[in-house]
Protein backbone atom coordinates (compact mmCIF):
# COMPACT_ATOMS: atom_id res chain seq x y z
CA UNK A 1 0.00 0.00 0.00
CA UNK A 2 1.28 3.50 -0.82
CA UNK A 3 2.58 5.21 2.30
CA UNK A 4 0.31 8.20 1.64
CA UNK A 5 -2.64 6.02 2.58
CA UNK A 6 -3.13 5.51 6.27
CA UNK A 7 -4.92 2.32 7.16
CA UNK A 8 -6.85 2.72 10.38
CA UNK A 9 -8.96 -0.23 11.37
CA UNK A 10 -10.66 1.57 14.18
CA UNK A 11 -11.06 5.29 14.00
CA UNK A 12 -14.28 6.28 15.72
CA UNK A 13 -12.76 8.09 18.69
CA UNK A 14 -15.26 8.96 21.41
CA UNK A 15 -13.46 10.94 24.08
CA UNK A 16 -14.50 10.23 27.63
CA UNK A 17 -13.41 12.57 30.40
CA UNK A 18 -10.82 15.30 30.28
CA UNK A 19 -7.76 13.57 31.67
CA UNK A 20 -5.66 11.55 29.23
CA UNK A 21 -5.66 8.67 31.72
CA UNK A 22 -9.37 8.15 31.00
CA UNK A 23 -8.54 7.05 27.48
CA UNK A 24 -6.42 3.94 27.54
CA UNK A 25 -7.47 3.06 23.99
CA UNK A 26 -7.10 6.44 22.26
CA UNK A 27 -3.29 6.22 21.91
CA UNK A 28 -3.75 3.07 19.86
CA UNK A 29 -5.55 4.91 17.08
CA UNK A 30 -3.31 7.94 17.46
CA UNK A 31 -0.09 6.00 17.09
CA UNK A 32 -1.27 4.65 13.74
CA UNK A 33 -1.73 8.21 12.50
CA UNK A 34 1.47 9.52 14.06
CA UNK A 35 3.58 6.67 12.76
CA UNK A 36 2.35 7.24 9.24
CA UNK A 37 2.78 10.98 9.62
CA UNK A 38 6.41 10.57 10.59
CA UNK A 39 6.98 8.18 7.71
CA UNK A 40 5.56 10.69 5.27
CA UNK A 41 7.32 13.64 6.84
CA UNK A 42 10.70 11.92 7.06
CA UNK A 43 13.41 12.55 9.65
CA UNK A 44 16.60 14.58 9.73
CA UNK A 45 20.05 13.14 10.24
CA UNK A 46 18.92 11.60 13.51
CA UNK A 47 21.36 13.41 15.77
CA UNK A 48 18.57 14.41 18.10
CA UNK A 49 15.66 12.48 16.62
CA UNK A 50 13.75 15.61 15.55
CA UNK A 51 11.11 15.44 12.83
CA UNK A 52 11.73 17.27 9.59
CA UNK A 53 9.72 20.07 8.00
CA UNK A 54 8.41 18.09 5.04
CA UNK A 55 4.68 18.33 4.42
CA UNK A 56 2.25 15.65 5.48
CA UNK A 57 -0.27 14.77 2.75
CA UNK A 58 -3.94 14.52 3.52
CA UNK A 59 -4.68 11.35 5.43
CA UNK A 60 -7.02 8.80 3.90
CA UNK A 61 -9.14 6.68 6.21
CA UNK A 62 -9.42 3.41 4.34
CA UNK A 63 -9.97 -0.31 4.77
CA UNK A 64 -12.08 0.15 7.86
CA UNK A 65 -12.73 -3.06 9.72
CA UNK A 66 -16.39 -3.86 9.28
CA UNK A 67 -16.68 -7.65 9.43
CA UNK A 68 -15.56 -10.37 11.79
CA UNK A 69 -12.93 -11.54 9.30
CA UNK A 70 -11.29 -8.09 9.41
CA UNK A 71 -10.33 -8.78 13.01
CA UNK A 72 -8.73 -12.17 12.45
CA UNK A 73 -5.39 -12.72 14.18
CA UNK A 74 -2.90 -14.03 11.60
CA UNK A 75 0.22 -14.28 13.76
CA UNK A 76 0.55 -15.86 17.18
CA UNK A 77 3.05 -17.55 19.56
CA UNK A 78 3.62 -21.26 19.00
CA UNK A 79 4.78 -22.26 22.47
CA UNK A 80 1.61 -21.94 24.55
CA UNK A 81 0.49 -24.75 26.83
CA UNK A 82 -2.29 -27.03 25.61
CA UNK A 83 -2.68 -29.09 28.78
CA UNK A 84 -4.96 -26.51 30.44
CA UNK A 85 -7.92 -27.11 28.14
CA UNK A 86 -11.20 -26.64 29.95
CA UNK A 87 -9.85 -24.03 32.37
CA UNK A 88 -11.80 -20.80 32.65
CA UNK A 89 -10.45 -17.36 33.55
CA UNK A 90 -11.58 -13.74 33.55
CA UNK A 91 -9.64 -10.69 32.34
CA UNK A 92 -10.44 -7.05 33.12
CA UNK A 93 -9.74 -4.67 30.23
CA UNK A 94 -10.54 -0.97 30.61
CA UNK A 95 -11.53 -0.17 27.05
CA UNK A 96 -13.97 1.61 24.78
CA UNK A 97 -16.08 0.35 21.89
CA UNK A 98 -13.42 0.52 19.12
CA UNK A 99 -11.17 -1.85 21.06
CA UNK A 100 -13.78 -4.54 21.64
CA UNK A 101 -13.63 -6.44 18.34
CA UNK A 102 -9.83 -6.62 18.52
CA UNK A 103 -9.89 -7.87 22.10
CA UNK A 104 -12.63 -10.34 21.24
CA UNK A 105 -10.54 -11.62 18.32
CA UNK A 106 -7.50 -12.02 20.57
CA UNK A 107 -9.48 -13.99 23.16
CA UNK A 108 -10.99 -16.16 20.44
CA UNK A 109 -7.55 -16.99 19.05
CA UNK A 110 -6.22 -17.71 22.56
CA UNK A 111 -9.11 -20.12 23.17
CA UNK A 112 -8.44 -21.85 19.84
CA UNK A 113 -4.75 -22.28 20.69
CA UNK A 114 -5.06 -23.38 24.33
CA UNK A 115 -8.62 -24.53 24.98
CA UNK A 116 -8.79 -22.03 27.86
CA UNK A 117 -12.06 -20.13 28.11
CA UNK A 118 -11.75 -16.37 28.72
CA UNK A 119 -14.46 -13.99 29.89
CA UNK A 120 -13.71 -10.30 29.35
CA UNK A 121 -14.88 -7.83 31.99
CA UNK A 122 -15.25 -4.29 30.67
CA UNK A 123 -15.34 -1.71 33.50
CA UNK A 124 -15.21 1.39 31.28
CA UNK A 125 -12.25 3.62 30.49
CA UNK A 126 -12.17 6.09 33.40
CA UNK A 127 -9.01 4.76 35.00
CA UNK A 128 -9.50 6.69 38.23
CA UNK A 129 -12.79 4.88 38.72
CA UNK A 130 -11.24 1.61 37.54
CA UNK A 131 -8.46 1.85 40.12
CA UNK A 132 -10.99 2.55 42.87
CA UNK A 133 -12.92 -0.55 41.80
CA UNK A 134 -9.78 -2.67 41.76
CA UNK A 135 -8.78 -1.54 45.25
CA UNK A 136 -12.28 -2.09 46.62
CA UNK A 137 -12.36 -5.63 45.25
CA UNK A 138 -8.89 -6.53 46.50
CA UNK A 139 -9.31 -4.93 49.91
CA UNK A 140 -12.56 -6.82 50.49
CA UNK A 141 -10.93 -10.06 49.36
CA UNK A 142 -13.29 -10.55 46.42
CA UNK A 143 -11.49 -9.81 43.14
CA UNK A 144 -13.64 -10.55 40.11
CA UNK A 145 -10.91 -11.59 37.71
CA UNK A 146 -7.68 -13.49 37.22
CA UNK A 147 -5.90 -11.02 34.93
CA UNK A 148 -6.02 -7.24 35.28
CA UNK A 149 -4.85 -4.55 32.88
CA UNK A 150 -3.22 -1.87 35.06
CA UNK A 151 -1.92 1.63 34.37
CA UNK A 152 1.81 2.27 34.42
CA UNK A 153 1.57 4.16 37.73
CA UNK A 154 -0.31 1.41 39.57
CA UNK A 155 2.28 -1.36 40.25
CA UNK A 156 3.34 0.11 43.58
CA UNK A 157 -0.27 0.61 44.61
CA UNK A 158 -1.39 -2.91 43.67
CA UNK A 159 1.76 -4.87 44.53
CA UNK A 160 0.21 -6.59 47.56
CA UNK A 161 -2.54 -8.07 45.36
CA UNK A 162 -0.35 -9.29 42.50
CA UNK A 163 1.17 -12.68 41.83
CA UNK A 164 4.95 -12.52 41.39
CA UNK A 165 5.44 -13.15 37.66
CA UNK A 166 9.23 -13.36 37.83
CA UNK A 167 9.33 -17.19 37.98
CA UNK A 168 7.16 -17.42 34.86
CA UNK A 169 8.78 -14.62 32.83
CA UNK A 170 12.39 -14.47 34.06
CA UNK A 171 14.36 -11.24 33.81
CA UNK A 172 12.59 -10.13 30.61
CA UNK A 173 15.83 -8.79 29.17
CA UNK A 174 14.13 -8.33 25.81
CA UNK A 175 11.73 -5.73 27.26
CA UNK A 176 12.36 -1.99 27.66
CA UNK A 177 14.43 -1.90 30.89
CA UNK A 178 12.60 1.09 32.34
CA UNK A 179 9.26 -0.69 32.02
CA UNK A 180 10.50 -3.80 33.81
CA UNK A 181 11.99 -1.63 36.55
CA UNK A 182 8.72 0.28 36.84
CA UNK A 183 6.80 -2.98 37.26
CA UNK A 184 9.16 -4.44 39.87
CA UNK A 185 8.42 -3.73 43.53
CA UNK A 186 10.93 -4.98 46.10
CA UNK A 187 12.12 -7.65 43.67
CA UNK A 188 8.58 -8.79 42.83
CA UNK A 189 7.46 -8.55 39.20
CA UNK A 190 3.98 -7.10 39.54
CA UNK A 191 2.99 -7.05 35.88
CA UNK A 192 4.26 -7.57 32.33
CA UNK A 193 4.38 -4.56 29.95
CA UNK A 194 1.61 -4.64 27.32
CA UNK A 195 1.99 -1.37 25.37
CA UNK A 196 3.50 2.07 25.86
CA UNK A 197 2.86 5.72 25.03
CA UNK A 198 4.84 8.93 25.49
CA UNK A 199 4.14 12.63 25.84
CA UNK A 200 4.92 14.65 22.73
CA UNK A 201 5.41 18.17 21.39
CA UNK A 202 2.95 19.20 18.68
CA UNK A 203 3.85 22.08 16.38
CA UNK A 204 2.37 23.97 13.45
CA UNK A 205 4.44 23.09 10.40
CA UNK A 206 2.90 25.89 8.36
CA UNK A 207 3.75 28.53 10.95
CA UNK A 208 7.34 27.38 11.38
CA UNK A 209 7.72 27.79 7.63
CA UNK A 210 5.93 31.15 7.62
CA UNK A 211 8.25 32.56 10.28
CA UNK A 212 11.38 30.97 8.80
CA UNK A 213 12.20 28.43 11.50
CA UNK A 214 14.08 25.52 9.97
CA UNK A 215 13.01 22.92 12.53
CA UNK A 216 10.92 22.62 15.71
CA UNK A 217 12.57 23.64 18.99
CA UNK A 218 15.07 21.28 20.57
CA UNK A 219 15.35 23.17 23.87
CA UNK A 220 12.91 25.05 26.08
CA UNK A 221 14.72 28.32 25.31
CA UNK A 222 14.27 27.68 21.59
CA UNK A 223 10.59 26.95 22.21
CA UNK A 224 10.20 30.26 24.05
CA UNK A 225 11.90 32.14 21.23
CA UNK A 226 9.88 30.53 18.46
CA UNK A 227 6.61 30.80 20.39
CA UNK A 228 7.13 34.53 21.06
CA UNK A 229 7.92 35.31 17.43
CA UNK A 230 5.01 33.33 16.04
CA UNK A 231 2.49 34.60 18.62
CA UNK A 232 3.52 38.22 18.05
CA UNK A 233 3.18 37.84 14.32
CA UNK A 234 -0.18 36.08 14.44
CA UNK A 235 -1.64 38.63 16.85
CA UNK A 236 -0.45 41.43 14.60
CA UNK A 237 -2.34 39.68 11.80
CA UNK A 238 -5.59 39.91 13.74
CA UNK A 239 -5.57 36.70 15.82
CA UNK A 240 -5.76 38.40 19.20
CA UNK A 241 -6.26 35.15 21.14
CA UNK A 242 -3.31 33.33 19.60
CA UNK A 243 -0.85 31.66 22.00
CA UNK A 244 2.65 30.32 21.62
CA UNK A 245 2.57 27.21 23.81
CA UNK A 246 -0.20 25.12 25.37
CA UNK A 247 0.32 22.76 28.30
CA UNK A 248 -1.58 21.43 31.32
CA UNK A 249 -1.31 23.31 34.61
CA UNK A 250 -4.44 22.23 36.49
CA UNK A 251 -3.97 20.71 39.94
CA UNK A 252 -3.88 17.10 38.76
CA UNK A 253 -1.72 14.21 37.61
CA UNK A 254 -1.45 16.11 34.33
CA UNK A 255 0.60 18.82 36.04
CA UNK A 256 2.76 16.15 37.68
CA UNK A 257 3.63 14.87 34.19
CA UNK A 258 4.31 18.34 32.80
CA UNK A 259 6.43 19.41 35.75
CA UNK A 260 8.49 16.21 35.74
CA UNK A 261 9.25 16.88 32.09
CA UNK A 262 10.52 20.36 32.97
CA UNK A 263 12.43 19.17 36.04
CA UNK A 264 14.15 16.12 34.59
CA UNK A 265 14.94 17.79 31.26
CA UNK A 266 16.73 20.54 33.22
CA UNK A 267 18.79 18.02 35.25
CA UNK A 268 16.67 18.82 38.27
CA UNK A 269 16.49 15.31 39.69
CA UNK A 270 13.88 12.59 39.36
CA UNK A 271 11.75 13.48 42.44
CA UNK A 272 12.42 10.15 44.17
CA UNK A 273 15.39 7.81 43.86
CA UNK A 274 14.82 4.04 43.60
CA UNK A 275 15.66 3.68 47.31
CA UNK A 276 12.97 6.21 48.24
CA UNK A 277 15.25 9.15 48.98
CA UNK A 278 14.22 12.55 47.66
CA UNK A 279 15.86 13.53 44.36
CA UNK A 280 15.63 17.29 43.84
CA UNK A 281 18.39 19.49 42.45
CA UNK A 282 17.22 22.82 43.85
CA UNK A 283 18.95 25.28 41.52
CA UNK A 284 17.90 23.49 38.33
CA UNK A 285 14.36 22.93 39.56
CA UNK A 286 13.99 26.58 40.53
CA UNK A 287 15.11 27.49 37.01
CA UNK A 288 12.59 25.08 35.47
CA UNK A 289 9.66 26.36 37.54
CA UNK A 290 10.52 30.02 37.11
CA UNK A 291 10.75 29.48 33.37
CA UNK A 292 7.30 27.87 33.29
CA UNK A 293 5.87 30.69 35.41
CA UNK A 294 7.32 33.16 32.90
CA UNK A 295 5.29 31.50 30.16
CA UNK A 296 1.94 32.28 31.80
CA UNK A 297 0.28 35.27 30.16
CA UNK A 298 3.13 35.64 27.66
CA UNK A 299 3.37 32.56 25.45
CA UNK A 300 0.74 30.55 27.38
CA UNK A 301 -2.85 31.48 28.31
CA UNK A 302 -3.38 33.18 31.70
CA UNK A 303 -5.75 30.36 32.69
CA UNK A 304 -3.35 27.55 31.73
CA UNK A 305 -3.11 26.69 35.44
CA UNK A 306 -6.69 25.46 35.22
CA UNK A 307 -6.34 23.54 31.97
CA UNK A 308 -6.10 19.83 31.20
CA UNK A 309 -5.36 18.00 27.97
CA UNK A 310 -8.72 18.55 26.31
CA UNK A 311 -8.63 22.26 27.14
CA UNK A 312 -5.30 22.53 25.34
CA UNK A 313 -6.63 20.51 22.44
CA UNK A 314 -9.70 22.71 22.00
CA UNK A 315 -7.55 25.83 21.62
CA UNK A 316 -5.14 23.96 19.38
CA UNK A 317 -7.82 22.65 17.02
CA UNK A 318 -9.18 26.18 16.68
CA UNK A 319 -5.82 27.22 15.25
CA UNK A 320 -4.91 29.46 18.18
CA UNK A 321 -1.49 28.11 19.16
CA UNK A 322 1.93 27.39 17.68
CA UNK A 323 2.99 24.55 20.03
CA UNK A 324 1.23 22.10 22.35
CA UNK A 325 2.33 19.47 24.80
CA UNK A 326 -0.06 16.52 24.72
CA UNK A 327 -0.46 12.75 24.32
CA UNK A 328 -0.76 10.76 21.08
CA UNK A 329 -4.57 10.88 21.00
CA UNK A 330 -4.36 14.59 20.14
CA UNK A 331 -3.02 13.85 16.67
CA UNK A 332 -6.16 12.02 15.59
CA UNK A 333 -8.26 14.88 16.92
CA UNK A 334 -6.04 17.41 15.16
CA UNK A 335 -6.69 15.68 11.85
CA UNK A 336 -10.48 15.69 12.08
CA UNK A 337 -12.60 17.63 9.59
CA UNK A 338 -13.62 20.17 12.26
CA UNK A 339 -9.98 21.02 13.04
CA UNK A 340 -8.52 24.21 11.60
CA UNK A 341 -5.03 22.72 11.93
CA UNK A 342 -5.84 19.61 9.91
CA UNK A 343 -2.80 18.61 7.79
CA UNK A 344 -0.71 21.39 9.35
CA UNK A 345 0.57 19.48 12.39
CA UNK A 346 3.98 18.05 13.16
CA UNK A 347 4.97 15.89 16.15
CA UNK A 348 8.35 15.57 17.83
CA UNK A 349 10.09 15.05 21.17
CA UNK A 350 9.60 17.48 24.02
CA UNK A 351 12.42 20.03 24.38
CA UNK A 352 15.30 19.67 26.79
CA UNK A 353 16.79 22.20 29.19
CA UNK A 354 19.92 24.30 28.82
CA UNK A 355 21.75 23.08 31.94
CA UNK A 356 24.75 20.72 31.59
CA UNK A 357 23.42 17.20 31.49
CA UNK A 358 20.07 18.33 30.11
CA UNK A 359 18.06 15.73 28.22
CA UNK A 360 14.73 15.07 26.56
CA UNK A 361 12.29 13.80 29.17
CA UNK A 362 9.11 12.53 27.54
CA UNK A 363 6.94 10.94 30.23
CA UNK A 364 6.13 7.29 29.77
CA UNK A 365 2.60 5.94 29.87
CA UNK A 366 0.92 2.68 28.95
CA UNK A 367 -0.66 -0.46 30.38
CA UNK A 368 0.60 -3.68 31.96
CA UNK A 369 -0.97 -7.08 32.63
CA UNK A 370 -1.14 -8.37 36.22
CA UNK A 371 -2.28 -11.74 37.62
CA UNK A 372 -4.29 -11.65 40.83
CA UNK A 373 -2.66 -13.37 43.78
CA UNK A 374 -6.15 -14.70 44.56
CA UNK A 375 -6.61 -16.34 41.16
CA UNK A 376 -7.69 -19.98 41.36
CA UNK A 377 -6.35 -20.60 37.83
CA UNK A 378 -2.93 -18.93 37.89
CA UNK A 379 -1.39 -21.20 35.27
CA UNK A 380 -4.11 -20.36 32.78
CA UNK A 381 -3.95 -16.68 33.69
CA UNK A 382 -0.19 -16.64 33.14
CA UNK A 383 -0.65 -18.27 29.72
CA UNK A 384 -3.02 -15.46 28.72
CA UNK A 385 -0.46 -12.85 29.80
CA UNK A 386 2.23 -14.71 27.83
CA UNK A 387 -0.01 -14.72 24.78
CA UNK A 388 -0.99 -11.03 24.93
CA UNK A 389 2.55 -9.80 25.62
CA UNK A 390 4.30 -12.15 23.19
CA UNK A 391 6.43 -10.70 20.38
CA UNK A 392 3.94 -12.00 17.83
CA UNK A 393 0.88 -10.34 19.39
CA UNK A 394 2.80 -7.14 20.14
CA UNK A 395 3.70 -6.98 16.46
CA UNK A 396 0.07 -7.63 15.50
CA UNK A 397 -1.07 -4.89 17.87
CA UNK A 398 1.49 -2.46 16.50
CA UNK A 399 0.41 -3.00 12.89
CA UNK A 400 -3.35 -3.25 13.37
CA UNK A 401 -3.99 -1.11 16.44
CA UNK A 402 -1.02 1.20 16.77
CA UNK A 403 0.01 -0.14 20.18
CA UNK A 404 3.70 0.69 20.59
CA UNK A 405 5.66 -2.51 21.42
CA UNK A 406 7.51 -2.90 24.71
CA UNK A 407 10.24 -5.03 23.11
CA UNK A 408 12.96 -2.96 21.39
CA UNK A 409 13.83 -5.78 18.98
CA UNK A 410 10.36 -5.57 17.42
CA UNK A 411 11.22 -2.16 16.03
CA UNK A 412 13.73 -3.93 13.77
CA UNK A 413 11.08 -6.08 12.11
CA UNK A 414 10.64 -5.13 8.42
CA UNK A 415 7.12 -3.73 8.76
CA UNK A 416 8.09 -1.46 11.67
CA UNK A 417 11.64 -0.67 10.58
CA UNK A 418 10.27 0.78 7.35
CA UNK A 419 8.67 3.56 9.37
CA UNK A 420 11.14 6.21 10.64
CA UNK A 421 9.02 7.10 13.65
CA UNK A 422 9.41 3.62 15.09
CA UNK A 423 13.16 4.23 15.18
CA UNK A 424 12.56 7.53 16.97
CA UNK A 425 10.19 5.87 19.40
CA UNK A 426 12.65 3.09 20.13
CA UNK A 427 15.34 5.67 20.87
CA UNK A 428 13.01 7.51 23.23
CA UNK A 429 11.97 4.35 25.03
CA UNK A 430 15.57 3.29 25.59
CA UNK A 431 17.16 6.67 26.21
CA UNK A 432 14.66 9.49 26.58
CA UNK A 433 11.44 8.33 28.21
CA UNK A 434 11.08 8.88 31.94
CA UNK A 435 8.75 7.26 34.43
CA UNK A 436 6.90 8.77 37.33
CA UNK A 437 8.14 7.49 40.71
CA UNK A 438 5.05 5.38 41.29
CA UNK A 439 6.88 2.12 41.95
CA UNK A 440 9.23 3.70 44.48
CA UNK A 441 6.40 5.55 46.22
CA UNK A 442 4.16 2.48 46.26
CA UNK A 443 0.83 3.06 48.03
CA UNK A 444 1.98 6.60 48.81
CA UNK A 445 2.18 7.61 45.15
CA UNK A 446 -1.08 9.55 45.06
CA UNK A 447 0.06 11.58 48.07
CA UNK A 448 3.50 12.13 46.52
CA UNK A 449 1.98 13.28 43.25
CA UNK A 450 -0.48 15.59 45.01
CA UNK A 451 2.27 17.17 47.11
CA UNK A 452 4.32 17.66 43.95
CA UNK A 453 1.73 19.25 41.70
CA UNK A 454 0.48 21.40 44.60
CA UNK A 455 3.95 22.85 45.18
CA UNK A 456 4.48 23.39 41.45
CA UNK A 457 1.13 25.10 41.04
CA UNK A 458 1.74 27.37 44.03
CA UNK A 459 4.79 28.66 42.17
CA UNK A 460 2.93 29.00 38.87
CA UNK A 461 0.09 31.08 40.33
CA UNK A 462 2.39 33.21 42.47
CA UNK A 463 1.35 31.97 45.90
CA UNK A 464 4.96 31.08 46.74
CA UNK A 465 8.39 31.56 45.28
CA UNK A 466 9.89 28.55 43.54
CA UNK A 467 12.56 28.27 46.23
CA UNK A 468 10.02 28.32 49.08
CA UNK A 469 7.69 25.84 47.35
CA UNK A 470 10.56 23.44 46.69
CA UNK A 471 11.72 23.61 50.31
CA UNK A 472 8.23 22.71 51.54
CA UNK A 473 7.92 20.00 48.90
CA UNK A 474 11.21 18.45 49.94
CA UNK A 475 10.09 18.35 53.57
CA UNK A 476 6.76 16.78 52.65
CA UNK A 477 8.39 14.15 50.43
CA UNK A 478 10.78 13.23 53.22
CA UNK A 479 7.82 12.83 55.57
CA UNK A 480 5.91 10.66 53.11
CA UNK A 481 8.90 8.50 52.26
CA UNK A 482 9.49 7.84 55.95
CA UNK A 483 6.06 6.25 56.35
**Of the candidate ranges 223-237, 243-257, 425-439, the one whose mean pLDDT is the lowest:** 425-439
- Report the pLDDT averaged over residues 384-413: 88
- Report the pLDDT averaged over residues 133-138: 93
Mean pLDDT, the chain, integer: 83
**Is the predicted pLDDT of residue 231 greater than 60, yes or no?**
yes
The domain limits of the chain are: 68-197+364-401+429-436, 200-361+437-483
pLDDT at 422: 64
Bigger pLDDT: 328 vs 376: 376
3-state secondary structure of 47: coil
Percent of the chain residues topping a pLDDT of 90? 57
Spatial distance between the Cα atoms of 340 and 344, rounded to a whole number of angstroms: 9
**Is the predicted pLDDT of residue 39 greater than 80, yes or no?**
no
324-374 pLDDT tens trace: 999 877 876 888 889 999 999 988 889 999 888 899 999 988 899 999 999
**Is the predicted pLDDT of residue 167 greater than 60, yes or no?**
yes
Which residues, in sequence order, are CB contacts of 285 under 8 Å at separation 6+? 263, 266, 268, 269, 466, 470
pLDDT at 354: 87
**327 φ, ψ (degrees, to nearest 5):** -100, 170
- Report the pLDDT averaged over residues 196-218: 94
**Is the predicted pLDDT of residue 421 greater than 70, yes or no?**
no
Nearest to 276 by CA among 472, 438, 440, 442: 440
CB atoms within 10 A of CB 73: 19
pLDDT at 53: 28
pLDDT at 34: 47
Question: pLDDT band at residue 448, thresholds of 50, 70 and 90?
Answer: very high
**Any bridge partners for residue 243, and if so which?**
321
Topology of 200-361+437-483 in CATH?
A: D-Maltodextrin-Binding Protein; domain 2 (3.40.190)
Spatial distance between the Cα atoms of 457 and 293, rounded to a whole number of angstroms: 9
271-290 pLDDT tens trace: 999 889 999 999 999 999 99
**Is the predicted pLDDT of residue 2 greater than 70, yes or no?**
no
Question: pLDDT band at residue 54, thresholds of 50, 70 and 90?
Answer: very low
286-320 pLDDT tens trace: 999 999 999 999 999 999 999 998 899 999 999 99
pLDDT at 132: 84
pLDDT at 370: 98
pLDDT at 260: 96
Topology of 68-197+364-401+429-436 in CATH?
A: D-Maltodextrin-Binding Protein; domain 2 (3.40.190)
pLDDT at 332: 67
* Helix ranges restricted to H, 216-307: 220-236, 253-265, 282-295
Tell me, yes or no, if the two domains 68-197+364-401+429-436 and 200-361+437-483 fold the same way. yes
- Report the pLDDT averaged over residues 366-388: 97
pLDDT at 96: 56
- Report the pLDDT averaged over residues 156-166: 95
Bigger pLDDT: 69 vs 196: 196
- Residue by residue, DSSP assigns 69-123 as GGG------S----TTTT-EEEEE----GGGHHHHHHHHHHHHHHH--EEEEE--
Spatial distance between the Cα atoms of 79 and 340, rounded to a whole number of angstroms: 50
Distance between start and end Cα atoms, the chain = 57
pLDDT at 90: 98
pLDDT at 83: 97
**339 φ, ψ (degrees, to nearest 5):** -100, 125
The answer to whether the beta carbons of residues 43 and 49 sit under 8 Å apart is yes
**Of the candidate ranges 141-155, 198-212, 220-234, 411-425, the one whose mean pLDDT is the lowest:** 411-425
The torsion defined by the Cα of 327, 299, 204 and 14, in degrees rounded to 10, comes to 40
Bigger pLDDT: 401 vs 459: 459
CB atoms within 10 A of CB 52: 18
Amino acid sequence: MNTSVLVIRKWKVVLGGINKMTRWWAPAVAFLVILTAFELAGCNDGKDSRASEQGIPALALADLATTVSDFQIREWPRNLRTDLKGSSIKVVLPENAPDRPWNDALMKKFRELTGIEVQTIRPGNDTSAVLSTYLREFETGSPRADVYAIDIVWPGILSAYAEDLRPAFGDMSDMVPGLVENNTVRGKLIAVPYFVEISLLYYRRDLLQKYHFVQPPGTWNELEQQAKVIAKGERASGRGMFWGFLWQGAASEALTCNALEWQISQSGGSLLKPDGRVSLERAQMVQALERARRWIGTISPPDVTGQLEDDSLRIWKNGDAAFMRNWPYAYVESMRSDSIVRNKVGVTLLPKGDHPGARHADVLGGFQLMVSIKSANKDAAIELVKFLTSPEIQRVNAVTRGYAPTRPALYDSPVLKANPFFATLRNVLLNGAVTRPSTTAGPQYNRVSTAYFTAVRQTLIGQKSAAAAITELENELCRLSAK
